Chain A
Amino acid sequence: MSDEKPFVDIRHAQKSYGALEVLKDISLKVNRGEIVAIIGPSGSGKSTLLRAINDLDPLTGGEVWLEDTQVNKTLPHRQYEKHINQVRQDIGMVFQHFNLFPHLTVRGNITLAPRMLKGLSEEEANRLAEEQLDKVGMLERIDYYPSQLSGGQKQRVAIARALAMKPKVMLFDEATSALDPELVEEVNLVMKKLAEEHMTMIIVTHEMGFAESVCDRVLFMDQGVVVEEGPPSVIFRNPESERTKNFLRKHLASNKE
Chain B
Amino acid sequence: MGLDFSVVPDYLDVIFLGALWTIAITVGAALLSFFGGIFFAVIALYAPILIRLPFRGFEWLFMGTPLLLQLFLIYFGLVQIGIDLPAFVAGVIGLGLHFAVYNSELIQTAIVAVDRGQMEAARTLGLSRGQALRKVVVPQAVRDVIPPIGNNMIALLKDSALVSVIGVTELTLSAQLAIGRTYRPFEFYVIAALFYYVINLGMEAVLRRIERRIQAAR
Instruction: Write the residues of chain A forming the contact surface with B, with a CB cutoff of 8 angstroms.
Output: 54, 56, 81, 85-86, 88-89, 91-93, 95, 97, 99-105, 112-113, 116-117, 145, 147, 158, 161-162, 165
Name the residue on A nearest B134 (C-beta).
Answer: A116
- Known contacts A102-B217, A103-B140, A103-B217; A162 and B125 CB within 8 A of each other: yes
The answer to whether A99 touches B118 (Cβ under 8 A) is yes
Q: How far is the CA of A18 from the CA of B116 in the complex (A)?
A: 22
The answer to whether B126 touches A103 (Cβ under 8 A) is no
Q: How far is the CA of A105 from the CA of B135 in the complex (A)?
A: 13
Contact of A117 among B115, B117, B126, B136 (CB under 8 A): B126
- Known contacts A88-B126, A102-B218, A103-B217; A95 and B121 CB within 8 A of each other: yes
Number of A-B pairs whose CB atoms are under 8 Å? Answer: 73
Instruction: Write the residues of chain B forming the contact surface with A, with a CB cutoff of 8 angstroms.
Output: 115, 117-118, 120-129, 131, 135-136, 139-140, 143, 214, 216-218
The answer to whether B140 touches A81 (Cβ under 8 A) is no
B135: chain A residues within 8 A (beta carbon): 112, 116
Contacts A85-B123, A88-B123, A99-B117 known; 14 new A-B pairs at CB < 8 A: A54-B124, A56-B123, A56-B124, A81-B128, A85-B126, A88-B126, A100-B121, A101-B140, A112-B125, A112-B136, A113-B122, A116-B135, A117-B126, A162-B124
B122: chain A residues within 8 A (beta carbon): 101, 113
B127: chain A residues within 8 A (beta carbon): 85, 112-113, 116-117
Q: How far is the CA of A91 from the CA of B126 in the complex (A)?
A: 9
A91: chain B residues within 8 A (beta carbon): 124
A86: chain B residues within 8 A (beta carbon): 126
A162: chain B residues within 8 A (beta carbon): 124-125
The answer to whether A97 touches B120 (Cβ under 8 A) is no
Q: How far is the CA of A89 from the CA of B214 in the complex (A)?
A: 30
Contact of B129 among A81, A88, A113, A117 (CB under 8 A): A81
B120: chain A residues within 8 A (beta carbon): 56, 95, 99
Q: How far is the CA of A95 from the CA of B214 in the complex (A)?
A: 25
**Cβ distance A158 to chain B, nearest Cβ, rounded Å:** 8
Name the residue on A nearest B143 (C-beta).
Answer: A103
Name the residue on A nearest B131 (C-beta).
Answer: A116
Q: How far is the CA of A112 from the CA of B137 in the complex (A)?
A: 13
Name the residue on B nearest A97 (C-beta).
Answer: B117
Q: How far is the CA of A145 from the CA of B140 in the complex (A)?
A: 13
- 30 A-B contacts (beta carbon < 8 Å): A56-B120, A56-B123, A56-B124, A81-B128, A85-B126, A85-B127, A88-B126, A89-B125, A89-B126, A99-B115, A99-B117, A99-B120, A99-B121, A101-B118, A101-B140, A102-B217, A103-B140, A103-B214, A112-B125, A112-B135, A113-B122, A113-B127, A116-B127, A116-B135, A117-B126, A145-B216, A145-B217, A145-B218, A158-B121, A162-B124
Q: How far is the CA of A178 from the CA of B122 in the complex (A)?
A: 20
- Known contacts A88-B123, A89-B126; A103 and B139 CB within 8 A of each other: yes
